[in-house]
Copies of this chain bind each other. A is one copy, B any other.
Amino acid sequence: MSLTLDLALQLARDTLAEGETRGFLPLAVAVLDTAGQPLAILRDHRSSLHRADIAVGKAAGCLAMGFGGRELAKRASAMPAFMTAVSAIFPKGIVPVPGGVLIRDADGGLLGAIGVSGDTSDNDETCALAALDRAGLHADTGA
């Protein structure tokens, strides 16, 4: 199984719809394939200027390191110098907080990553999890 554009777009739209339903702040969402390249990036026109960059950074950072955002957050606490160092190396950065989620199939195989930004990191992640659940995909948050 692999992530198609149609499936990625469905994930992106469902993420934003979840935020609307919950009354969250306007969001940006990025769905990247296993190569870290975009399949679907959507940014609410009411969100701030660089929200899409943050969403991409969350997803790209998870793929770069092979962990969900919660594990990246733990490592940023334990090894801040390491995280700062790699953020300057990775071409799309790394944003080590919740809201970056690895997308896996039923066997744990990696399909890509989703990143969300706009509200609190926990709320951002909530929206990604809802979308992945609706699609029957496994969310690896790094928790």
Binding site for B on A (CB under 8 A): 2-5, 8-9, 13, 16, 28, 33-45, 47-54, 57, 61, 63-67, 73, 76-77, 79-97, 121
For A94, give the chain B residue with the smallest CB separation: B85
Count the copies: 4
Q: What CA separation (Å) do A139 and B90 show in the bound complex? A: 27
Would you call B81 and A81 a contact (CB within 8 A)? no
A83: B residues at CB distance < 8 A: 81, 84-85
Q: List 12 A-B contacts (CB under 8 A).
A: A5-B16, A5-B43, A36-B49, A41-B41, A47-B66, A48-B63, A49-B63, A49-B66, A50-B64, A53-B64, A54-B89, A82-B95
How far, in angstroms, from A96 to B81 measured CA to CA in the complex?
7
User: In the bound complex, how far is the Cα of B52 from the Cα of A39, in angstroms?
Assistant: 8
Determine whether the beta carbon of B37 is less than 8 Å from that of A34: no
Q: How far, in whole Å, are A55 and B49 apart by their CA atoms in the complex?
A: 18
Report B-chain residues with C-beta under 8 Å of the C-beta of A86: 50, 53-54, 57, 93, 95
Interface of chain A, main secondary structure = mixed
Q: State how many angstroms separate the Cβ of A54 from the closest Cβ of chain B.
A: 6
- Report whether A89 and B57 are in contact in the complex, using a CB–CB cutoff of 8 Å: yes
Q: How far is the CA of A76 from the CA of B65 in the complex (A)?
A: 21
Which among A13, A41, A66, A81 has the highest number of chain B CB atoms within 10 Å? A81
